[in-house]
Structure 1
C-alpha cells in the first residue's frame, strides 16, 4: 500500500501563516509610481466622482504603453477604488462579461490587442452602449497607439475617439524606487544594494522584477531573514536556478546571459498588475 501524501493540513501552522503573509498588496493609485504620467492618473482617479457629480465630457479613455509600463496596475487601481461599481475585463474574461450593465459605472478593459475576434465585437458594442449612457465610462489599454493596434478597424476607430494617453516608461532610477516602495509595502527589509543588483543581473522589465521581488518576499518570510544578495543566492539555489547565476556571490557584475534572462522572467501570460 503506497504511503499517503500529506495534504495542506499537515503543513506546520507557522509555515502556512508565513505563506499567507507573502500576499502582495492590492494595486492602488497611491502605490503607482507616477513618473511622467501625472495627468492620466489624475483623470482616472477623479473619474468616478466626476460621473456621480453630473455630465462628463470625456468618458472614454485609451491608455497604451510598452510591457511593464503599468497599464494593468492603473486599471486594477481604478476597479479597486470604485466601490464595487466597476468591472475589470481582459482576454481571459467570459464573452458575456462584455455585456452592458446599467449598474456598472466604470468598465476597465485590459490588453485590447489580445482580445479574440468575438471579444472585439463585444467590446465594440459595449463601447457604443457606454457612449449612449452618460453615467458610465470606459477605460481600455493596449500595447500600441490606436492606429497601430491589431484589432478590428471599427474597434480601432472607437478606441481613438476619446482621450488617448501614452504611459511614459520608467528610468532605471525610477524602477529602483518602485522596488524599494514595493518592499516597504510588504514590510520587507531590503538591503540597499539589492534593487540596483536586480536591475543589473536580471530582466529589467517591471513584471519580471516584481515577480522576483514577490518570490524573495515569500522566501525571506520563510527564512526569517532580510532580503540581501546572499538570500537571493540561497533562493536561487533552492529553486534550482543557481547555475546560470553562479557569479552572484561576487561583486563583479557578470554579463547577462540568455539562461539568466529566462530563469527569472515572468511568463508572458502570467496575471500581473505591472503590465
Structure 2
C-alpha cells in the first residue's frame, strides 16, 4: 500500500475555561486559579508533569486577569518593568536551572511585580524545592510560594484528556478507541499526547480512520 505524503499541519489547542475538565487530580489547582486575586502573598505555583494542564490553566487565568505570559527562558531579554505593570505568568521555571542571568531576571520580576501590587503565576515540572535554582534568594521566594499540584490522571480525566487531544486535531476516533487506549497505555499526560500525535500521523499517512485496531498497532510499536 502506498503511503500518503504526511505533512505536519498546525492544529488549534482549545484553552478556554470550559475546555478544562475538573477531576480529583486537578481540583485543587483549578480551585486556586478560580480564587484569584486572593492568592497568599499575591503569587501561585502550578506544578505538574508535561501535559498535565499547566499551560491550559495559565491561559484560563490570563484571560480572566489580562495577564502577560512569558517562558522563563525568555526573561533575560524581556522588559521586566513593563511585565511587572500587571499580572504576569512565567512558564517552566525549572528550565532556567543553570541559567543565572534568567534567574536574576525572574528575581527582579518577582519583587517588582509584587511591589506594584500585581500577581504572579509560575509553572514548573515539580514542586519548587526540586527546581534546584542556583540563586539562593530566588529559591527561597519560590519555596515560599503556595503550590498547586496537578497529579497524574485517573481513568475519567485521562479519557477526557484523550478526547480533547483528538478534538484539537479534528480527529474522530471510533467509540472503543479511547477506552482501549486508557486501559493499555502508560498512565501519563505525556504518553497521551504522544499517542494521539502518532495516531494522527499514521491515520493521515495510511488514509485510515482512527480505530481500536490502529490504536493497537501504535501501542505495540511502543513496547
Matched, 1:125 2:113: no
1:205-236 Cα distance to aligned partner (Å, 9 max, x none): 212312331443465467665310334478x6
* Structure of greater Rg: 1
1:101 to 82, 97, 120: 82
Report the CA distance shift for 1:188/1:171 in structure 2 as closer, same or farther (over 3 A).
same
Where does residue 69 of structure 1 map in the other structure? 52
Where does residue 92 of structure 2 map in the other structure? 111
Residue 109 of structure 1 aligns to a residue whose secondary structure is: strand
Where does residue 154 of structure 1 map in the other structure? 137
- Which runs of no fewer than 5 residues in structure 1 stay unpaired? 1-11, 237-243, 247-259, 262-275
Residue 41 of structure 1 aligns to a residue whose secondary structure is: helix
Measure how far apart 1:110 and its partner are: 1.8
Where does residue 140 of structure 1 map in the other structure? 122
TM-score normalised by L of structure 1 = 0.63
Aligned residues: 216
- Which runs of no fewer than 5 residues in structure 2 stay unpaired? none
Report the CA distance shift for 1:102/1:206 in structure 2 as closer, same or farther (over 3 A).
closer
Matched, 1:245 2:223: no
Measure how far apart 1:95 and its partner are: 1.3
Report the CA distance shift for 1:148/1:102 in structure 2 as closer, same or farther (over 3 A).
closer
Residue 19 of structure 2 aligns to a residue whose secondary structure is: coil
Could you tell me whether the CA contact under 8 Å between 1:60 and 1:139 is conserved in 2?
Answer: yes
Measure how far apart 1:145 and its partner are: 2.3
Provide the aligned C-alpha RMSD in A. 3.5
Matched, 1:25 2:25: no
TM-score normalised by L of structure 2 = 0.76
1:197-216 correspondence to structure 2 within 5 Å: 197-216=180-199
1:54-65 correspondence to structure 2 within 5 Å: 58-65=41-48
Residue 188 of structure 1 aligns to a residue whose secondary structure is: coil
Could you tell me whether the CA contact under 8 Å between 2:67 and 2:89 is conserved in 1?
Answer: no
